[in-house]
Amino acid sequence: MKVRTLLPVGRTAKMQKNEKVVAIYPGSFDPITSGHLDVIERGSRICDRLIVAILRNESKSPLFGVEERMQMLTEVVAAYPNVEVDSFDGLLAHYALRKGARLILRGIRAISDYEYELQMALMNRRLQPQVETVFLLAGEQYSFISSKLVKEIIKLGGNIAGLVPPVIEQRLHERLKVQTT
């Protein structure tokens, strides 16, 4: 019996020769942290085109608007020629299909991230079987960083140097100055 007949329906289609690998790295990025940037750098090395995509229809009230976050991300990823920035509405699985992406990249910091990420990856696979989620490990020096904690620390007067790229640190200081004056 041929192996091919044993493959389940909906299995990821084989890549065509010379097909460019497009990957999406989705998230809120409010704001981008050094950990996110580390994942972007790693991701840019394993695909031909990496789209960093900000979710638009978020229920949380963000510190930075989508356009501001897009501008900040664009500045920070300028050094990577195969990385671009976009935003999306609705389901990630549908967006990935529209963009011709084969991969969804997600960063995993610790085992605590895994449960949520696994659930999302399996749901996205069910919605769009041809798109694979790939988990990347950010450098261990970033494993404790989150956008939420960075915002809390800076609001309470703590030092966030190194936790976010320098231009983002400056933007955070400016934003909080505006908010407190």
Nearer to ligand PNS by Cβ, of 7 and 91: the residue is 91
143 catalytic? Reply is: no
d(CA 81, CA 103): 18
Q: According to the binding rule CB under 6 A, does residue 28 interact with ligand PNS?
A: yes
| Active-site annotation holds for 94 | no
List the structure tokens of 128: 């769009």
Q: Does 112 qualify as catalytic in the annotation?
A: no
Write phi, then psi, for 53 (nearest 5 degrees): -120, 125
Closest to 44 (Cα-Cα) out of 157, 154, 140, 136: 136
One residue of 91, 110, 118, 167 binding ligand PNS per CB under 6 A: 91
Q: Nearest to residue 29, comparing CAs of 83, 72, 88, 93?
A: 72
Q: Which residue is nearest to ligand PNS (CB)?
A: 27
The single residue among 26, 31, 35, 43 that binds ligand PNS, judged by CB under 6 A, is 26
Q: Are 50 and 85 in contact (CB under 8 A)?
A: no
Does the active-site annotation cover 28?
Answer: no
C-beta of residue 151 within 8 angstroms of C-beta of residue 63: yes
- Residue 146 binds ligand PNS (CB under 6 A): no
Q: Which of 42, 49, 109, 175 is catalytic?
A: 109
For residue 165, state whether it binds ligand PNS (rule: CB under 6 A): no
As annotated, the active-site residues are 36, 60, 109, 147
Residues lying near ligand PNS in the complex (CB under 6 A):
26-28, 55, 91-92, 120, 123-124
